[in-house]
Structure 1
Amino acid sequence: MAITLFYHPIFLEHEMGLGHPERPQRLELIISSLHQLQWHDELLWQTPHIILKEDLLRVHHEEYINSVFAASPKEGYYYFDGDTAMNPLTLEAACFAAGSVKDAVKAVMDKQTKRAVCLIRPPGHHAEPDRAMGFCFFNNVAVGAAFALDVYKLDRIAIIDFDVHHGNGTEKMFRDDPRVFYWSSFQHPFYPGVELDKQPSHFHFHPLAAGSGSEAFHDLVDNHLVDALEAFAPQLIFISAGFDAHRKDPLAELFFLQKDYFYVTDKIVKIAERVCEGKVISTLEGGYHLKALSHCFSAHLKAMR
């Protein structure tokens, strides 16, 4: 089945300095690996539109949005923190990244495709309503989810986040919205920190100790994701697809394998076929070992077919 893949070359222009792990080569290697797939002709490449301010306002505070636009430098870098910096083209990249997820929602909900993948950077799930952090400026998946809820009047959507770092921004944006089933697996204790107690019933947080691998992750998927997701019966499923839990990733201490990303994605897609006509939107988050990232992304994409 054809997959619509949203990508813009501006994503390669955003960079945060020599040696930074969130670098343009992440996408360059993914794209190279995709062109080598035997089923590459099943990928429908689309250029996204830039996001509108009104779309950002659904999840971010206006004062924060204005501050990000004002911070965009004419040269050099502007640092929000030690890890998160803008160069002169970062703002444009961030706006097209968020626009990609909005366009993906439109494509899926208007039945132009059943599956959409947003091959984007900068990532987004750490961006809070009023704060840039963790390499993130605007919360891409949250922008898309809020757009789907508002414009398409959906009652139930799901966000599955298997990045090795918990999506604190996504958590804050939907904590009080029971229409959003949010499932997050992550290394714990680890960046950015998370309060495991007193979570609302539509949130499902699953910490993994350093050293955990395939067996622990499959247990979470089989015993804590599949039934809960199917029972919620979302009308649309988003994936915050981070690949930094792979055993070779330099920024974490979990031991996932390439096959694990096929495994979890396949489970999600099969549930989507049963409950929401197969509608799934995947958005790239983390993954910092270049070769492992490209292989895991290809496995993820294969399971989306």
Structure 2
Amino acid sequence: MSTALITHHDFFDHVTPPGHPEQVARLDSVYGALEDLDLTRVVAPLAAEADLLRVHPKAYLDRIADAIPEKGIRALDADTHVSPGSLGAAWRGAGAVLRGVDMVLSGEVGNAFAAVRPPGHHAETETPMGFCLFGNVAAAAKYALDHHGLSRVAVVDFDVHHGNGTQDLLWDEARTLFVSSHQMPLWPGTGRPDETGAHDNVLNLALPPESDGAHMRRVYEAEVFPRLHAFAPELLLISAGFDAHHADPLAQLNWEVEDFVWLTGALCDIADESCGGRVVSALEGGYDLEALGLCVAAHVNVLMERAR
């Protein structure tokens, strides 16, 4: 079995203002880190409207389409911008993760990594924010449940910022378990431990500023892994943000590359035990370009080792 890398050149057409951290150069770093790896390379399709409608209303999809400028860059809020190529990139970002679900559940590949931008885990039901337009991973979770007929899907988000969008989109979905570890205090200010979902299906782990990978490992071993084992997911989705790395400019956690290796391997262990190793990972944050490349390569190398 192999690992699928699902991506598309359209992701380069989503242009943000000069100096913006979520920049085209992020994808250059990711591509450079993965160019020599023996991956099953897949062209990301556009998501079907029906698949996005599982998490966003039609009025919201229309509003995002109407906001796309004919030229230049338009701000949707202080952080989130769109350009003429953003709509295609956003639809393919969701489509990439959906394609990963199809490939992994069919047994075509062992696992998958979707190298996408814009990211998705901050997009709420009717609100683009935090560089995100559509809830890529949440849409994939609902797709796996409704289209593929699964009963339980887990989402683990280890981006340094709380996945408020994914939490919002899955809050009422009893068939999912959403786990987010994130620095707190930090934008967007959500992700308190008492935010547990409508069906006790949300687990938020607040990590203090300047804490390191050793602290993260203790938290995951004590709180995350037991919950995942008890939930026994039939598919594990990962929101893979790499901005907890100590070099990242937008946060103050002190993880090393080896911490992402450890966490990826541990999540694969749980997937091996509960769902035959079925893992689909999607790129979220990570804004130091060198650290991003190193962490993505480390993460994907573990996926490749475990797909065999």
TM-score range, shorter chain: over 0.9
Amino acid at match of 1:236: L
CA distance in 1, matches of 2:21, 2:168: 25
Match of 1:234 in 2: 233
Scaled by the length of structure 1, the TM-score of the pair is 0.97
Match of 2:279 in 1: 280
Deviation per CA, 1:115-164: give whole Å up to 9, x if none: 01100000000000101000000011011111111101111000000000
Amino acid at match of 2:35: H
Deviation per CA, 1:207-238: give whole Å up to 9, x if none: 01111111111111211122211111100000
Residues 201-216 of structure 1 correspond to what in structure 2 (within 5 A)? Answer: 201-216=200-215
Report if the CA contact (8 A) 2:195-2:203 is conserved. no
Residue 35 of structure 1: how far off its partner (Å): 2.1
CA distance in 1, matches of 2:195, 2:117: 32
Report if the CA contact (8 A) 2:73-2:82 is conserved. yes
Report if the CA contact (8 A) 2:33-2:296 is conserved. no
1:110 is aligned, of 100, 106, 109, to 106
Match of 1:17 in 2: 17
Structure 2, gaps ≥5 residues long = none
Secondary structure, aligned partner of 2:146: helix
Residues 37-76 of structure 1 correspond to what in structure 2 (within 5 A)? Answer: 40-41=37-38, 43-76=39-72
Report if the CA contact (8 A) 2:152-2:175 is conserved. yes
Match of 1:245 in 2: 244
Residues 245-264 of structure 1 correspond to what in structure 2 (within 5 A)? Answer: 245-264=244-263
CA distance in 2, matches of 1:215, 1:191: 23
CA distance in 2, matches of 1:293, 1:95: 23
CA distance in 1, matches of 2:118, 2:28: 14
CA distance in 1, matches of 2:62, 2:107: 34
Secondary structure, aligned partner of 2:143: helix
Amino acid at match of 1:9: H
Match of 2:117 in 1: 121
In the alignment of these two chains, the number of paired residues is 301
1:177 lines up with 2:173 in the alignment: yes
CA distance in 2, matches of 1:22, 1:268: 26
1:189 lines up with 2:182 in the alignment: no
CA distance in 1, matches of 2:34, 2:169: 33
After superposing on structure 2, the runs of 4+ consecutive aligned residues of structure 1 that deviate more than 2 Å are: none
Residues 132-143 of structure 1 correspond to what in structure 2 (within 5 A)? Answer: 132-143=128-139
1:267 lines up with 2:266 in the alignment: yes
CA distance in 1, matches of 2:219, 2:108: 33
Match of 1:148 in 2: 144
1:130 is aligned, of 126, 129, 132, to 126
Residue 198 of structure 1: how far off its partner (Å): 4.7
Residue 30 of structure 1: how far off its partner (Å): 1.5
CA RMSD of superposed structures (Å) = 1.0
Residue 196 of structure 1: how far off its partner (Å): 3.1
Amino acid at match of 1:265: T
